[in-house]
Amino acid sequence: MKHRAKSSKIKYEHDMIHGLREFLETEIEPLEYVKSIFPGVIKRSKGVNPGFKARFKYATRTGAKILAYSPSAVQEVFVVTSNPEALKELLEAKRSPS
């Protein structure tokens, strides 16, 4: 498929906010229930976030929508998965302080 490395589930068509590529490659891509990852539109954010964070937004027919936040921008990420609930639990576990 165009814009995709041979062994990657991530489509590299668009730019990614700082920290997103590493997060997707280390945390989301290795999951067996994730089929494909499509980073989407980058928008400026009004608030100031201290660093990179990712939040589960909602389940879709084919998977899930995640919002990734950097200090000055937010980016949509669409994940094709057979188990959006497991993805949601993973992201919420990473958000909560240990």
Q: pLDDT tens digits for 58-92? A: 999 999 999 999 988 999 999 999 999 999 999 99
For the chain, what is the largest distance between any 2 Cα atoms, rounded to a whole number of angstroms? 40
Total-model pTM = 0.84
Residue 45: per-residue pLDDT: 83
Residue 1: per-residue pLDDT: 45
Half-sphere exposure of 74 (CA within 13 A, CB side): 14
Q: How far apart are CA 6 and CA 18, in angstroms?
A: 23
| DSSP structure string for 43-98 | EE-SS--SS-EEEEEEE-SSEEEEEEE-SSEEEEEEEEES-HHHHHHHHHHHHS--
